[in-house]
Amino acid sequence: MKIMVINGPNINMLGIREPGIYGANSFADLWALIDATAKAEGLEIEQFQSNHEGAIVDKIQECYGKVDGIVINPAAYTHTSIAILDALKAVGIPAVEVHISKVSDREAFRQISYPGMYCEKTIQGKGLSGYTDAILYLKEKYG
Ligand code: DQA
């Protein structure tokens, strides 16, 4: 089974950005955790991060016919991007949305998720382990 993990803007700043909200672990720690999960579960996992909306749309389109599941933290684009929602709908690949922080307890402008309208599950507020949970969910259901 092949899974694509996509992270949006500023996720590469983990460990530096607002550690009280996003924790002390670095982006390299997240990358290593996902690689370790892939190894332990016998999955092929590709990781991608971009600060650019169009690059994320391009990556989702590239997944068509090649990937069995998508784990996506669209970061701030969660709350603005119909383009990412439309890309997910276009490829039709099962997808899980992850947020490191508990978005539902935060500002009003974070309460809408456009990609979440496509994703079959949202995991939030579990820190980096939310990514592992999302991967295991996809493996159990589609692996
Ligand atoms: C986030 C939550 C978003 O509201 C925010 O813009 C992010 C990160 C999270 O993982 O908690 O950049 O997606």
Half-sphere exposure of 99 (CA within 13 A, CB side): 23
CATH number at residue 129: 3.40.50.9100
Q: Ligand 1 mean position to 37 CA, how many Å? A: 22
99 assigned to active site: yes
**CB within 6 Å of ligand 1 — which residues?**
10, 73, 75-76, 78, 99-101, 103, 110
Distance between CA atoms of 117 and 47, rounded to whole angstroms?
22
Element (H, E) at 22: helix 19-22
Nearest CA to ligand 1 atom 8: 75
Q: How confident is the model at residue 110 (pLDDT cuts 50, 70, 90)?
A: very high
| Predicted confidence (pLDDT) per residue in 80-103, tens digit | 999 999 999 999 999 999 999 999
Number of domains in the chain: 1
Minimum-distance ligand 1 atom for the alpha carbon of 74 = 13
The number of the ligand 1 atom at minimal distance from the alpha carbon of 99 is 10
pLDDT recorded at residue 22: 98
- Print the domain residue range for 7: 2-142
Q: Catalytic annotation on 79?
A: no
